[in-house]
Amino acid sequence: MPAERTATHTVPVAAARRRRLRADQARQLADLLRDGYARTAVAALADPAWQVRAGAAAGLSAATPETAVPALAKALADANADVRKAAVLSLLAHRDATEARAALATAVSDPDADVRAYAARAA
């Protein structure tokens, strides 16, 4: 019997599907941001699922720097490296803003090599 149909695996599989759905929804925020929904993406940065936080950080690349940069700078302290990577990549889209460059400068000392490499692109 497939793992998805056994009682012991049903809950973890369903939870994973819900996380993936929320992550997909967060990625769709990029389209919505053009219509002024940046506050929704900022709020999604507090979601318990790292996939949602990463999607929200990615979506903030389309927001105005005034809204996105402070939230993305905070996301650089996220416990999950994928969220920090998404935040750095979005900050690169806002690198004309002084605050974004300052945040990227702090990311070059991140414990994750990928985050450091992405942040180095700003130089």
Classified by CATH at the fold level, domain 3-120 comes out as Leucine-rich Repeat Variant (1.25.10)
Model pLDDT, residue 26 = 77
Model pLDDT, residue 29 = 66
Model pLDDT, residue 34 = 58
Contact present, 108 and 120 (Cβ < 8 Å): yes
Instruction: Pick the most confident of 3-12, 60-69, 71-80.
Output: 71-80
Contact present, 4 and 16 (Cβ < 8 Å): no
Amino acid at 86: A
Mean pLDDT computed over every residue of the chain: 87
Cα separation, 81 vs 65, in Å, equals 22
Other Cβ atoms less than 10 A from the Cβ of 40: the count is 15
Model pLDDT, residue 36 = 66
5 pLDDT more than 60: no
% of the chain at pLDDT higher than 90: 61
Cα separation, 108 vs 91, in Å, equals 13
Model pLDDT, residue 21 = 85
pLDDT tens digits, 54-74: 999 999 998 889 999 999 999
User: What is the domain partition of the chain in residue ranges?
Assistant: 3-120
Cα angle for residues 82, 53, 88 (degrees, 5° grid): 50
For the record, the structure tokens of 56 come out as 């929200």
40 pLDDT more than 80: yes
